[in-house]
Structure 1
Amino acid sequence: MGQFSMTFTSNTGLLVQYGDTKVLFDSLYGKSGHRFSPLPRFLEQEIMAGEGDFSHIDYLVFSHNHGDHFSADYLKTYLGQNMVKGIFLPEDLLLETELIEFLKTEKIPTMFFSKKPGLNRTVVLGKSFRLRAIPMCHQGEIYQDVPHFCFLVSCDGERFLLTADVDFAQEDFSAFSQTDLEGIFVNPLFFHSKEGQRVIRETLCPKEVFVYHIPFAAEDVLSMRKMVQRDCDKWDFCPATPLWEPMQQVRRTIDRG
C-alpha cells in the first residue's frame, strides 16, 4: 500500500506527495499581475519557510508563465531559503536571463518543457512516481502563443491529469482515451462548459473530477463558487469535488497489487 495525497494551495497550485517524494505545482506567485486569488498570507509564509506540510519539497513544477501561477521573484526568494532536487519550467522562461543566471549560479538542476511534444520525456521523480508534461494551448485566443503544459502524474500506475488553463474546446484529448485516469483536475470553465463535460464523459472518462482554480470567497466577484457548486450537484458521471479552500486535502491509498 502507498499513501498518495494532494494538498490544494491556490488557483492550480497543488502539493502532491507519494511516499517520500513531494512535488509542488504552481504555488510560487505574487499578488500583482493577475486578477485571481493570491496565496493566503499564512500559506505563503509556510511555503516560503518550508514548514509543516511544505517542508523538504523535492521538486517545483510550473505549468506556464502567468502571474497567477509563477513569479520569478518568488521562486528566487524561495530558493534562497529552501533546497530542492530540481525545477521544471516552461520553455519561454529561457528568455528570462536574470532568472537563468541565478539558477546557474546556484547550480540548481532545471529542466525546461518544450512545446514540441516529442522533446518532453517522462521524468522519474521518486520510487514509482512519474511526471509527463503535455504541451496544450492555453484558453483564450490572446494566450495561444504562451507555452502551456498539462501534467500526467503517475504513482504506481494510478494516473492523475492536471489540466491547468487548457483550451478544452480546441485541444484534442483523444491521446488519453486509452489512459485509465484515477482523477482529472479541471478549471471551472472546463467543468461548466457542455464541450468540456463532453470531453470528460466521452474521452477522458476519469474515476473522479477535481475542480480547481476557483476564487476564494473574498475574490469571487463573479459568483464562480455558486456556479461550481451547482455544476457539481448536477454532475452524475463520477464523483466531483471542488477544491476551493487553502490546505484542502485529498488522500488516497494506492494498492500496489
Structure 2
Amino acid sequence: MRYSKSILFIILWVLSIDSALSQTVTYLGNEGMLIEYQGKKIIIDGLFDDISGRFDSPDYDVMDDIIAGRGEYKNVELALITHAHPDHFDAPSFARFMFNNKKAKMVATLQAIDSMKLNTDLYDSIANRIAVTRWTKGWQINDTEDIGIKSAYTLHAGKAFTKVQNQMFLITIGDKKILHVADTQMDVDYFDDLRLIYEDIDLAIVPFWFLTNLFGAEIVDKHIEAKKVAGMHLPNKDNEKTLEKINSFFPKATVFSEPGQKISF
C-alpha cells in the first residue's frame, strides 16, 4: 500500500509539473481554443454546437468537462467571448461553466451578456465575475491579477453582420502574447490603428480568409507580424483549394482542422 501511494504521488507530481510547463493552444472547434501557459488556462469561445454542420463543434464530452471543470479543463480561470453567434457561443453552456467554476472570470460583449440573461436563470449569480466590453473603438483593458487582456471591437466579416459586436483579444501571460482575431473583416486601416506590430506577438490565430489572398497576407505580414501564425474557422468539408491557397501564401502556418489538435507557441 505504501508503494502504491508513492507511485500515485509521483504520477500526480509529474502531471502537475507537465501542466505548469505546458505552452500550448488546443483547438476545440471552429474558433474555440484552450490556451495554457505557466499553469494558467483560458478558453476562447469553445462552448457551442454548430447546428449547420459546416464547422467543427467541440465534442460533447469535452464540453461537459469544460463546464464541470474536469481533467484538462480543471482550473480554467478565464473565458473570453468573441461574439454571440451560435457557432461560437452557447449562452446556457457558458452560464453553467461560470456557475460551476467559482473562480473563473469572463470578458464578453453586451450581446453575449443579453443572450445569457434571456436564456438562463443563472446570470445574476455570476454577473459579478463578468466584464462587459463597451462597443467603442480602440483597445479596452480587462486584466486579471496575472493575465493581461486587451480587447478591441472589429467589424465582423460579411456585410450581413455589421451590427454584430465582434471583438478580438490580445492575451499576455508571462512573457508570451497570443492574438485571437475572431471573425474580423480584413481592414488594413483598422489593423494599422491597433498598432499590433509593436506588441511582439508570439502567436496570431486568424480566420482562414486572412491566409488565402494578398490583402489578408498584407495584414498578417505587415500589420500583425507574429512569430507564428495559425488559421481557424475552416469549413470541415471541401477544403482542398483553400488549403492549397493557404500553403502558397503561408507555407509555415498551422491550420486548425481537427478538434483536439495542439500547437505550441
Tell me the equivalent position of 1:95.
114
Tell me the equivalent position of 1:245.
258
Q: Which has the higher contact order (CA 8 A, sep 6+)?
A: 1
Q: 134-143 or 74-83: which moved more?
A: 74-83
Secondary structure at the counterpart of residue 56 of structure 2 = coil
Change (3 A) 1:231 1:114: same
Tell me the equivalent position of 1:52.
71
CA contact (8 A) 1:34 1:67 kept: no
One-letter amino acid matched to 1:235: F
Tell me the equivalent position of 1:9.
28
CA distance in 1: counterparts of 2:137 and 2:201, whole angstroms: 20
Tell me the equivalent position of 2:166.
148
TM-superposed deviation, 1:25:
0.7
Tell me the equivalent position of 2:206.
186
Tell me the equivalent position of 2:226.
206
CA contact (8 A) 1:209 1:241 kept: yes
User: Normalising to structure 2: TM-score of the pair?
Assistant: 0.81
Change (3 A) 1:118 1:183: closer
Q: How many percent identity over aligned positions?
A: 18
Tell me the equivalent position of 1:255.
none
Tell me the equivalent position of 1:73.
92
TM-superposed deviation, 1:82:
3.6
Change (3 A) 1:85 1:78: closer
C-alpha RMSD over aligned residues: 2.6
- Name structure 2 gaps, 5 residues minimum: 1-19
CA contact (8 A) 2:152 2:169 kept: yes
CA distance in 2: counterparts of 1:11 and 1:139, whole angstroms: 15
CA distance in 2: counterparts of 1:234 and 1:26, whole angstroms: 29
Q: Larger Rg: 1 or 2?
A: 2
CA distance in 1: counterparts of 2:156 and 2:126, whole angstroms: 31
Cα displacement string for residues 3-39 of structure 1 (whole angstroms, at most 9, x for unaligned residues): 4221110011111112222111101112437743322
Tell me the equivalent position of 2:245.
231
- Name structure 1 gaps, 5 residues minimum: 253-257
Change (3 A) 1:20 1:125: farther
CA contact (8 A) 2:83 2:112 kept: no
Kindly tell me the number of residue pairs found equivalent between the two proteins: 243
CA distance in 2: counterparts of 1:108 and 1:203, whole angstroms: 36
Higher helix share: 2
2:136 maps to which of 116, 130, 138: 116
Tell me the equivalent position of 1:41.
60
Change (3 A) 1:183 1:142: same
Change (3 A) 1:190 1:233: closer
CA contact (8 A) 1:161 1:184 kept: yes
CA distance in 1: counterparts of 2:140 and 2:99, whole angstroms: 28
TM-superposed deviation, 1:155:
2.3
TM-superposed deviation, 1:165:
0.5
One-letter amino acid matched to 2:102: M
TM-superposed deviation, 1:93:
3.2
User: Normalising to structure 1: TM-score of the pair?
Assistant: 0.83
Change (3 A) 1:121 1:169: closer
